[in-house]
A and B are shown apart, each in its own frame.
Chain A
């Protein structure tokens, strides 16, 4: 199934944007302005839906004309492209979007044709599926790890490097004792939140 690579789902959605004449701010510009105001880190809509590895939103104003001898043509509607790479099943993901990032989803898709709102989640899921286009070829470099597994691994990698650096030259007994303490602390520490920009400083305190 081209929409999937291993345990990762590649979702591509094209939602037609409303076309309103005689308004000060067109719906496509309103989407762009709203997106500009959203935080891009874990406080944004996709950080809230923690199974999202990477996602983007793009306003497609029109198709592109590459010059003669090809023909010039135009879309009759602008489209909002939603591209997401996430863990698990499509219905679960869309349900989480509708419930955990409700305000942002509403803020974005209210400008799109046929958007039913979020009062009725199955109607929202059906709407998104009507806008879905199938991926023809999908590539995921790491396709068997969840977001949380990756965040945990990055935390471990950083913490192990710090541990090695700070425990050079210790006696075997002291090293073993330090390692046991360290591995217990590491196990009992939650991985960073998705979208977190914390790096080495976060793991230094574990060592």
Chain B
């Protein structure tokens, strides 16, 4: 299935918006870009590697030749792309449970958006707007977002320990090694094959 590679799932959705509403959504995104509450919420969820929202105005679908038929659209379109860990259901459930206010502010400008709570109509809305991925690649398919963050913490601690312990007497080294173990122990989870989900 091209939507999934290793521990990552590639989700794509598209939804129509009346053009005047896109200005409001752009304003929200502009504010979030600078004041970070949405970004912080996504960091706390900690199972999204990368995500993006793209507003494509009705006149902005690329037209590269006079022979290419002209689009005649009434709506602007909101595209959403996410690279997340876990199953589709877990992802939407977590979004609905934790980020429902932010999600409502993003999608309420789309036609027929039912709200992110209760979750069943929200899932129906996502299913309707979802487009399948045809090819998906990740450079570290065996690692979830938490694995990546933990690995960078281990790398930093390892670099420090290696530098500081260089040339230490053996007894001092053993003490410093114990402190290093305490520092990294919660970040040593094993990466590997993803569990099978739905």
User: Judging by beta carbons under 8 Å apart, are A12 and B54 in contact?
Assistant: yes
Given A54-B137, A114-B64, A139-B51, are A179 and B177 also a contact pair (CB < 8 Å)? Answer: yes
User: Judging by beta carbons under 8 Å apart, are A141 and B43 in contact?
Assistant: yes
Q: In the complex, which residues of chain A have a beta carbon less than 8 angstroms from the beta carbon of B92?
A: none
Q: Could you mark each residue 106-140 of chain B with 1 if its beta carbon is under 8 Å from any beta carbon of chain A, else 0?
A: 00001110000000000001001101111111111
Q: In the complex, which residues of chain B have a beta carbon less than 8 angstroms from the beta carbon of A142?
A: 49, 145, 148-149, 152
Q: How far is the CB of A118 from chain B (nearest CB, A)?
A: 17
Q: How far is the CB of B45 from chain A (nearest CB, A)?
A: 9
Asked if B21 is at the interface (CB within 8 A of a chain A CB), the reply is no
Asked if A7 is at the interface (CB within 8 A of a chain B CB), the reply is no
Q: In the complex, which residues of chain B have a beta carbon less than 8 angstroms from the beta carbon of A137?
A: 29, 32-33, 38, 52-53
User: Judging by beta carbons under 8 Å apart, are B14 and A64 in contact?
Assistant: yes
User: Judging by beta carbons under 8 Å apart, are B50 and A64 in contact?
Assistant: no
CB within 8 A of B74: which of A56, A71, A139?
A71
Chain A CB within 10 Å, residue with most, of B38, B136, B145, B191: B136
Q: In the complex, which residues of chain B have a beta carbon less than 8 angstroms from the beta carbon of A71?
A: 74-75
Q: In the complex, which residues of chain A have a beta carbon less than 8 angstroms from the beta carbon of B168?
A: 176
Asked if A166 is at the interface (CB within 8 A of a chain B CB), the reply is no
User: Judging by beta carbons under 8 Å apart, are B71 and A75 in contact?
Assistant: yes
Q: In the complex, which residues of chain A have a beta carbon less than 8 angstroms from the beta carbon of B10?
A: 54, 56
User: Judging by beta carbons under 8 Å apart, are B145 and A194 in contact?
Assistant: no
Q: How far is the CB of B145 from chain A (nearest CB, A)?
A: 5
Which chain A residue shows the least CB distance to B32? A137
Q: In the complex, which residues of chain B have a beta carbon less than 8 angstroms from the beta carbon of A58?
A: 12, 131-134
Which chain B residue shows the least CB distance to A80? B134
User: Judging by beta carbons under 8 Å apart, are B188 and A164 in contact?
Assistant: yes
Count of CB-CB pairs between chains A and B under 8 Å: 278
Q: How far is the CB of B127 from chain A (nearest CB, A)?
A: 10
Give Cα A160–Cα B25 distance, bound, in whole angstroms.
Answer: 46
Q: In the complex, which residues of chain A have a beta carbon less than 8 angstroms from the beta carbon of B149?
A: 141-142
Q: In the complex, which residues of chain A have a beta carbon less than 8 angstroms from the beta carbon of B152?
A: 142, 145, 149-150, 153
Q: In the complex, which residues of chain A have a beta carbon less than 8 angstroms from the beta carbon of B192?
A: 199-200
Number of A residues with CB within 8 Å of any CB on chain B? 86
- Interface size class on chain B is 35 or more
Asked if B83 is at the interface (CB within 8 A of a chain A CB), the reply is yes
Given A67-B112, A136-B55, are A75 and B61 also a contact pair (CB < 8 Å)? Answer: yes
Q: In the complex, which residues of chain A have a beta carbon less than 8 angstroms from the beta carbon of B131?
A: 58, 60, 64, 81
- B residues engaging A (CB < 8 A)? 2, 5-6, 8, 10, 12, 14-16, 25-26, 29, 32-33, 38-39, 42-43, 46, 48-56, 60-65, 68-75, 77, 79, 81, 83, 110-112, 125, 128-129, 131-143, 145, 147-152, 154-155, 158, 162, 165, 168, 170-171, 173-174, 177, 181, 184, 187-188, 190-193
| 14 pairs, CB–CB < 8 Å, chain A vs chain B | A35-B134, A47-B139, A64-B15, A71-B75, A75-B61, A75-B71, A113-B64, A142-B149, A153-B155, A156-B151, A157-B151, A172-B170, A195-B138, A197-B141
- A residues engaging B (CB < 8 A)? 2, 8, 10, 12, 14-16, 19, 31-32, 35-36, 38, 40-42, 44-47, 50, 52-60, 63-64, 66-67, 70-71, 73, 75-77, 79, 81, 83, 85, 113-114, 127, 130-131, 133-142, 145, 147, 149-154, 156-158, 160-161, 164, 171-173, 175-176, 179, 183, 194-195, 197-200
